[in-house]
Amino acid sequence: MASSCCPCGRSLQTAGRTRHSLAAASLVLYALVGIGHRFSVSRVFASSPRLCSNSGERNSNKDVAADFSSLSSRVWREIDARAKDGDVKGAEALFEDMKDKVPPRMQRMLFNTVIKACANAGDVQGAETWRHRMEAAGIQPNLKNYGKMIEAAAKAGDVATAEKWLRAQQTSDATAGLTPNIISYTAVIDACAKSGDLPSAQKWLAKAIEAGLIPNIISYTAVIDACARSGDLQSAQKWLAKAIEAGLIPNIISYTAVIDACSKAGDVQSAQKWLAKAIEAGLIPNMISYTAVIDACAKSGDPPSAQKWLAKAIQAGLIPNIVAYTAVIAACAKAGDLQSATKWLAKAIEAGLSPGIISYTAVIDACAKSRDLPSAQNWLAKAIEAGLSPDIVVYTAVIGACAKAGDLPSAQRWLARATDTRLVPNIVTYTSVLDACAKAAEERQSNSSLKCSILELSQTSSLSPHL
C-alpha cells in the first residue's frame, strides 16, 4: 500500500502507537498513585480515538453519571448560572431534566438551586411553591433553604413574608442546626429597607443583637438603606457612625446609601461631602455612587451640577447607564430646560442605551414646564413607538402640559385615554385636569360637569380630590 511506503504514513502510525502507549501508561500511573478516581476514563484516553471507540457505551454512561454527581459538571454549572440570573423558568426546566439522574444526597441541593433562582427574581410565590414540593418529596429544609426563602421575600420588599420565614426558622429544630444567623436577620432588614420601613429595619437589627448575634457591615448598610428610602438623612448618618463605633469598616455600598439619603433630601452639598469622604477612606465610587449625587442635583433643579458630576464619572473611567442619563434629564426638566432635556435623551440613545418610560416621562415633564403641549404629545407617541407602556405618571405629565397650556379638551381626552388603557388616575391626575379647567376660557360652562365626572372616577379608585 502506498501509505505503508510513505515516510509520513509510517510516522503517523508510530505516533498513534506512541499515543496509545502513553495513554495506557498514564492510566496505570494514576491507578498506582491512587488518584485515578478523580478522572473519568474517557478523559485519560482522550488522545486515543481507537481506545475511546473500543470503550463504547460503558464510558459514556460513566460520564453521564459523573455529570449529575459533580457540582463542577456542565449541567450543575448551568443550573447554578440560571439561578444566579434569577431565571426561574430556565432553572425549572433544568430541574425536570436532572431530578431523576441526580443522586439522592444531592436532591436537596437541586431543590435549593431552583429556590435560589426564585429568590434572585424576588418570586416569593415561586419560592414557596418549590419549598412545598421539596417537603412533599420528603426532603428536609436546611439553613440555606430558610435563607433563600427570606431572601425571596426581601427582594420583593415583602416584610410580612420575610418575618414569617424567620419566625419559622426560629421555631425549627435547633439541634438540626437551623438557628437563624446574622444573614437571616440581615435579609429581613433588607426587606424592610426595600419597603422603606425604617422602624422595622431598626427593630430587627436590635432583635439580632438580642439573639447574641454580631451585626456586620452589610446589616448596618441595610438599615442605612432603609433610612435613605425613607428620606431620613440624619438617621442614615447616625447609623453609619454606629457601624464605625462598632469597629466595622464601611464599604462603598455603605457610603452610597448615605449619599442616596442626601439625594432623596435634595441635599447636593451633603451628597458631594459624603462622596468625598468615601474617596478619602480609600474607596472607589461606582456608577451608583455618582448617580446618587447626580440625582441630588436633579432634585434641587441644578442641571449644570448634574452634568458636571456625569462628566466626573466618565473621567473616572465609569460608563454611565440609563439611570444616570435620566437623572440629568430630570435635572433639566425640573429647571424647565426642554432643549437640554431632549439633548441628553438623544445622547443616551447615541451611547447605545435604551431609554425607559421614566426617561421619556422626564422629557414630557420638561415639555409641561415649558408649556409645550405639542412636544409633550409627540414624546408620548415616541415612547409608545419605542414599545414602552406608558403608566399613569406619563399620562399625568401630558395632562399637566395641557393644563399649563390651558387646553381643557386635550386634558379630558388624555384622561379618557388613560382610563381606556385600564390605568387608575391618581390625585395628581385629577388636580391637573382641574387646573386645565380653571385656565380654560369656558370655565363657567364646563367646571360643574367636569367636577361630576372626576368625582365619579375618583370614587371608583378610592381617591378624594379636593374640589
For residues 438 and 134, the model is more confident at 134
Interval 164-174: pLDDT, tens: 999 999 888 66
* Other CB atoms within 10 A of residue 241 CB: 11
Residue 464: pLDDT band (50, 70, 90) is low
pLDDT at 15 over 60: no
Q: How many residues does this entry show for the chain? A: 467
Give the torsion sign (CA, 37, 39, 44, 50): positive
Q: Say what the pLDDT of residue 164 is.
A: 95
Q: What is the pTM of this model?
A: 0.74
The CB-side HSE value for 167 (13 A sphere, CA atoms) comes to 6
Residue type, 106: M
Indicate the average pLDDT of the chain.
84
Q: What is the mean pLDDT of residues 317-327?
A: 97
pLDDT at 405 over 80: yes
> Considering only 6-20, 29-43, 82-96, 442-456, which range has the smallest mean pLDDT?
29-43
Interval 156-195: pLDDT, tens: 999 999 999 999 998 886 667 788 999 999 999 999 999 9
Q: What percent of the chain has pLDDT over 90?
A: 67
The CB-side HSE value for 161 (13 A sphere, CA atoms) comes to 22
Q: What is the mean pLDDT of residues 96-124?
A: 95
Q: Say what the pLDDT of residue 72 is.
A: 84
Q: What is the mean pLDDT of residues 423-450?
A: 75
